[in-house]
Amino acid sequence: MLAVYGDPDVMQFIPGGALTDTNAVKALLQVYVEAQQIHGFSSWGLVERESGSLIGDVGFSVFEPTGDIELGYTLARAHWGRGYATEAAHACLAGRECHLAGR
């Protein structure tokens, strides 16, 4: 996930921007684990079915300024424009497994 979270283009709209090392990635993933335990939802790994590659994440989080629940995704730049984020977001909203993408 460092390849995804460490890419400044991928992370340009994410508060805090690109992560710099694996320790930062591990800390973020721990936040996701804790969010799942506390809220019953979080971000999950997004895996391309065809290749089996981990290509990002998708899921729900609490938008701290308002307390609203938001749906978001982080997707490796090489996989932009293939409809994966849309497919994963639809699956999340429908309550299906949203960690699988691709055809």
Tens of pLDDT, residues 56-82: 999 999 998 999 999 999 999 999 999
Q: Please tell me the total count of domains within the chain.
A: 1
Q: Tell me the residue ranges of DSSP E strands in the chain.
A: 43-48, 54-63, 68-75, 100-101
| 101 pLDDT above the threshold of 70 | no
Whole-number pLDDT of residue 78: 95
Mean pLDDT of the 25-46 span: 94
| CATH number of the domain to which 29 belongs | 3.40.630.30
Q: Which domain holds residue 82?
A: 2-101
94 band by pLDDT with thresholds 50, 70 and 90? confident
Contact (Cβ atoms closer than 8 angstroms) between residue 44 and residue 98: yes
